[in-house]
Chain A
Amino acid sequence: MPSGNEVAAEAAAAVQPLAGPPGTARTDVSLWMLLKAFVRLGLMTFGGSVQAWVHREIVDRLGWIDNKSYLSGLTVAQVLPGANPVNIALYVGLQLRGAVGAAVAVLGMIVPAFCVIMTLGLLYHAYGHVAAVRFVLLGLAASGVGATLTMGVRVGKRLPRNFVTGAIAVGVFLVVGILRWPMVPVVAIAVPLSIVVAYFDEKRRGGGKEGTAHGL
């Protein structure tokens, strides 16, 4: 497996100079290939693990985008609103084939999955009253919460260790989770506050180094 990845990486490296300076995406990926890749990803990935699958397929196996470019795109996909898998698909499609590629990747991710969930939903309409189905669904909801906790811990571990960051995370959890305030106004207040705090904290610590050289 490692040797297979090396071959793929070498192949990608050999193509890249033709496509542009190192670090840019390949340009020889057809829209059809893009569509096929994201239809497959949309149908074989579930909630929390999507980023890992997309990375494995697009970066490791196909070598369409290099690691660094993918990771910076992943950060945007995670921090911006919207479903992470859809945002990642959009980013990869945009890198490879521009606006049309972005649309193709997003539709590839959503449309087949939409058909599957509608089918399951209709089956539920037919069998939803059966006690066994309700009981199994309770189990699946509970395991979904388990997967959500795993993701929360994983993301939480990467937070900077300081009081303000922790206070914002715990505060949002308490206000939305325990007090049940609606999310939208909470986010609208917490996000600008958190960004301003992070900005001045970054400025204070990183001061005269590279940050200001590339600054506003």
Chain B
Amino acid sequence: MDFNRLLGLVIAFVPISLLSFGGGQATVPEIQHQVVAVHGWLTNEQFADLFAIARASPGPSTLIVALIGYQVSGFLGAVVATVAVFLPSSILMYFAAAWWQRNKHNPVRIAIERGLAPVAVGLIFAGALIVLRSAHAGLLALATTAVVAVLQSTTRISTYGTVALVAAIYFAIFLTFHPAAA
């Protein structure tokens, strides 16, 4: 009964694992596309919520698939989604790391390194745009994005500190403007 949903998780996430150039962040658009548009497991708003939880959690941000897996098929779904997204890329990395060490001056290695970089950069910025759009970001959210980007680029502010500060400020704003709801 649950088997088809578990299989769906594997089919959705294994290709993403093998093509997630640019790290976890760059894969957010495709994960969202699969989960919202292709499989209809979540709405855009639900996805944005899970993304926020993933960003507030330690470890790789790709772990958002654990939350998605849980929504789709319970705890087993979380485990299956996590394995589907980390195992294939890890196997690839394993063989590549061994080859990489042996071929330091190989022109093919240099070309791969150079050729992948611009694709990764394009995907990182695309991911940022798509998350903003799906969260229906207003002026406040856009300002938050800008301030955090400037702070992280120009100061040594810690990531934990940034997350805690943003959460505190948003909570304070909420209490100020929606006192009845709190």
Contact = CB atoms under 8 A, between A and B. Distances in A.
Contacts of B62: 83, 86
Contacts, number: 384
B8 interface: no
Given A45-B58, A120-B53, A146-B149, A81 B166 contact: no
Given A47-B61, A82-B20, A136-B174, A194 B51 contact: no
Given A47-B55, A117-B66, A147-B148, A199 B115 contact: yes
Contacts of B7: none
B78 interface: yes
A203 B107 contact: yes
A176 B145 contact: no
Given A118-B75, A166-B118, 10 more contacts: A76-B96, A114-B82, A138-B137, A141-B48, A146-B148, A147-B162, A168-B122, A173-B122, A196-B115, A210-B105
B130 A90 contact: no
Contact of B115 (A72, A73, A195): A195
A149 B128 contact: yes
Contact of A110 (B82, B114, B120): B82
Nearest to A123: B53
Interface string A34-69: 000000001111111110000000000000000000
B159 A110 contact: no
Contacts of A176: 29, 122-123, 126, 130
A179 to B, nearest CB: 10
Given A77-B93, A83-B86, A178 B129 contact: yes
B156 to A, nearest CB: 10
A216 B60 contact: no
Contacts of A139: 140-141, 144, 166-167, 169-170
Which 10 pairs from chain A and chain B are nearest by CB? A113-B59, A172-B122, A146-B148, A82-B89, A177-B126, A195-B115, A199-B111, A144-B55, A139-B170, A214-B105
A151 interface: yes
Contacts of B148: 142-143, 145-147, 150
B57 A211 contact: no
Interface in B102-159: 104-108, 110-132, 135, 137, 140-142, 144-149, 151-153, 159
Interface residues of A, number: 106
A99 to B, nearest CB: 7
Contact of A202 (B49, B50, B66, B111): B111
5 contacts: A114-B78, A139-B141, A143-B145, A149-B125, A188-B19
A79 B96 CA distance: 11
Interface size class of B (residues with CB under 8 A): 35 or more
A15 B98 CA distance: 23
B144 A158 contact: no
Nearest to A187: B19
Given A114-B82, A142-B145, A81 B107 contact: no
B90 interface: yes
Contact of B17 (A44, A82, A147): A82
A180 B30 CA distance: 9
B63 interface: yes
